[in-house]
Structure 1
Amino acid sequence: MRLQTLPTPLQWDIFCRVIDNFGDIGVCWRLSADLAARGQQVRLWVDDASALAWLAPQGHPGVQVRAWGSLPAAHEPPTQVLVEAFGCEIAPEFIANSARISSAKGEKYLWINLEYLSAEAYVERCHRLPSPVREGAALGEVKWFFYPGFTPATGGLLRENGLLERQAAFDTATWRAAQVPGTHGDAANACWISLFCYEPPALPALLQQCMQRPTRLLVTPGRATAATQAALKTLDQNDPQGSPDKRGQPSISYRKTCPQAAFDEMLWACDLNLVRGEDSLVRALWAGRPLAWQIYPQHDNAHHDKLHAFLDWLQAPESLRRFHATWNGLDNAPLVLPDKTLLAQWAACVQAARARLLAQDDLVTQILGFVQEKR
């Protein structure tokens, strides 16, 4: 598939507020790096860039990270494409500055509102719609809604050039051996599970089942680690005769923060990926391994419809739907950790979905085409 490029590189200004969990900055960094890899110049304006120290320690040529609230210097290129990620509401001062410079140069900038990922029907209806600005410094300007998505009528998913080639060259056995040197026997043949979650109520049940079969559980840092340790404590209290030392080692490995490429490799190496949020869901789909998604919980339970829409698009088998319902707290049914037969069914489902996605243009290809069309 031919990658979309622009005849002349443009200056992109991408805005990101880190709400929690670093998912927003993860998506915005992948977007920025992919645009830069295709010849664009990118300034990423972020209110908390601390996570980039481990997400992207090497940075990327063509991407400059800037502090939220500052403005480009007078000698720097003016905004040509403005990306407001996830409704972060760019500071009026920046909008006024961009409008003033563009007006002086007789050149309009394109303003894109990059929305959250969803498989719900409204995404196809709203993708690429204009939204006139009726007040403030940007009065008279137009924002354009750009929706990532899973179908050809949406903006697609982030997929950088060379991703599939890197994955094809990846050696799972070598990676696993490097994580647990000298591993033999049951541990070497264990079911490898990555755990990137919030605080699922079914986590103790998952851990209990992991203890009953050869399992290597890779727990990501932050909330997943805290939730796992709290769940283990609950199990200890309910089973005072148990052996927490045996539970924790060697079946559970607590991971450190890592660059995005290393996170991808962990997903490629596991037999089951339990992911959360937006960025990790997309990366788990590209991994083509069995997955379960813990969707970000909302107080009004709006995430229930969003989860069901995703499972419908995924064409998930009933066993995978049941797991998702319990894992996301939609019901109190017993959680059933999949055996090899179910994992094979789930893998076939994910790989079929990935094939559908690979037949579509990726998000950056589409957004570059959109910019060329509107400019």
Structure 2
Amino acid sequence: MKTETHSSPSLRWDIFCRVIDNHGDLGVCWRLCADLAQRGHTVRLWVDDASALAWMAPHGCAGVSVHAWPSDETLQALAHSTVFAVGDVVVEAFGCELPEAFQALMVRGTSPVWINLEYLSAEGYVARSHGLASPVMSGPARGMTKWFFFPGFTPNTGGLLREPDLAERHTAFDRTTWLSALPLDKPLAANERLISLFCYEPTALPELLKQLSQADEPTRVLVAQGRPCAAVAVATQALHMPSSGTGQLHISQLPYFSQTEFDHLLWACDLNFVRGEDSLVRALWAGQPLVWHIYPQDDLAHHDKLHAFEAALDMPLTLRRFHAAWNGLEAAPLPTLSRAALESWCCWSRQVQRGLQDQTDLTTQLLGFVAQKR
């Protein structure tokens, strides 16, 4: 497993994030902030909506300070401050544009390394674009250079976020004790198959719930708060099914989880339905079977993104077919979640986990990249 083993100079980081929806951008940025801080760096996170951190990271992280997206008035005050200094590195996450007044601060004194941290994808342009320079041609920061940094699944990309101690924590995880402490409406049975559900509003959700209710073995679906909870309520109503499930299916609502507890959920379940970027990466590290609900886009660009992901990680055909139905790419019925299918998917997940662990993690790569540009 490749990760940072040497000590690097302690740097000051300014990371900017705008919450578009669903808090996924904030989730990725917080993990990066916390990982940097735990490696000895100091981080300021500038975000336009930090409310989700109350449950996502309730205890904060030493070395990370959270600031509201700076207004013009705030930046004017900082411009006259003798104490404030722009960080050694400025990260513009997911194409959010830095305020021009902050860009003006960046050209005073030693210019920081300016990183444009992009979205995760397995598409071909990622490897071609990773690490490229983007000269700034206008505005207060004219003449500076912005560097594209692309996360990815192959060694010629920026890699995936993975804390140095993640594997050790996973190995030490006590599944039985953790599950017994969950605040559930009904105690778990020893023979229940456990499925976590973190999704948007998949059209195949009613079909999944009906299938599980008629399965040969009991299943507990653990539903995340927010949109998954609302989607399940709509699906059960459409099926005229009790909100807690029926037959072989029992549905339990989970509380909001911190990022650490969400990792534990993924480690504890036999199958994880995840969505977006952050939960996909955490499900890959869990090494359990997973189904990804990719963020739907009006121009259907997510179809190509999903197919690229499947190809890059050599996803088995049965799991590809399930993804096609789950994501609405095909009108075919949702394949059955048989024991044989899950066992096959589990073998694939463990193989992918090992392969990705052999690659250098994103934070280590980012630190090395910044060191080259300073």
Shared fold, TM over 0.5: yes
- Note the C-alpha offset of 1:183: 4.1
In structure 2, do the counterparts of structure 1 residues 243 and 291 end up closer, same or farther at CA, with 3 Å as the change threshold?
Answer: closer
Residue 277 of structure 1: aligned partner: 276
In structure 2, do the counterparts of structure 1 residues 206 and 25 end up closer, same or farther at CA, with 3 Å as the change threshold?
Answer: same
Residue 340 of structure 2: aligned partner: 341
Matches within 5 A, 1:247-326: 247=246, 251-326=250-325
Q: Does 1:141 align with 2:144?
A: yes
3-state SS of paired residue (1:247): coil
Distance 1:23 1:357 in 2: 21
Residue 99 of structure 2: aligned partner: 91
In structure 2, do the counterparts of structure 1 residues 248 and 23 end up closer, same or farther at CA, with 3 Å as the change threshold?
Answer: farther
Is this contact kept in 2: 1:281–1:293, CA < 8 A? yes
In structure 2, do the counterparts of structure 1 residues 82 and 248 end up closer, same or farther at CA, with 3 Å as the change threshold?
Answer: farther
- Note the C-alpha offset of 1:245: 5.7
Instruction: Tell me the percent identity.
Output: 57
Letter in 1 for 2:127: E
Of the three residues 76, 79, 85, the one matched with 1:77 is 85
Is this contact kept in 2: 1:14–1:45, CA < 8 A? yes
User: How far does the alpha carbon of each residue in 1:87-142 deviate from its partner, in whole angstroms, 9 at most, with x for none?
Assistant: 01111111112212x2xxxx221100000000001100000000001111110111
Letter in 2 for 1:305: D
- Note the C-alpha offset of 1:80: 1.2
User: How far does the alpha carbon of each residue in 1:166-215 deviate from its partner, in whole angstroms, 9 at most, with x for none?
Assistant: 1111122222333359847xx32111100000000000000111212311
In structure 2, do the counterparts of structure 1 residues 136 and 359 end up closer, same or farther at CA, with 3 Å as the change threshold?
Answer: same
Is this contact kept in 2: 1:5–1:365, CA < 8 A? no
Letter in 2 for 1:290: P
In structure 2, do the counterparts of structure 1 residues 326 and 246 end up closer, same or farther at CA, with 3 Å as the change threshold?
Answer: closer
3-state SS of paired residue (1:251): strand
In structure 2, do the counterparts of structure 1 residues 246 and 309 end up closer, same or farther at CA, with 3 Å as the change threshold?
Answer: closer
- Note the C-alpha offset of 1:4: 5.6
3-state SS of paired residue (1:369): helix
3-state SS of paired residue (2:115): strand
- Note the C-alpha offset of 1:78: 2.6
Is this contact kept in 1: 2:213–2:248, CA < 8 A? no
Number of matched residues?
363
Using structure 1 for the length normalisation, give the TM-score.
0.93
- Note the C-alpha offset of 1:47: 0.2
Residue 173 of structure 1: aligned partner: 176
Distance 1:221 1:265 in 2: 16
C-alpha root-mean-square deviation of aligned residues, in Å? 1.8
- Note the C-alpha offset of 1:298: 0.6
3-state SS of paired residue (1:200): coil
Q: Does 1:154 align with 2:157?
A: yes
In structure 2, do the counterparts of structure 1 residues 257 and 128 end up closer, same or farther at CA, with 3 Å as the change threshold?
Answer: same
Distance 2:158 2:3 in 1: 16
Residue 24 of structure 2: aligned partner: 23
Matches within 5 A, 1:55-66: 55-66=56-67
Distance 1:254 1:248 in 2: 18
Is this contact kept in 2: 1:118–1:310, CA < 8 A? yes
Letter in 2 for 1:224: P
- Note the C-alpha offset of 1:250: 7.5
Letter in 2 for 1:370: F
User: How far does the alpha carbon of each residue in 1:237-295 deviate from its partner, in whole angstroms, 9 at most, with x for none?
Assistant: xxxxx656653998111111111000000000000000000000000000000000000
Using structure 2 for the length normalisation, give the TM-score.
0.93
Residue 239 of structure 1: aligned partner: none
3-state SS of paired residue (2:355): helix
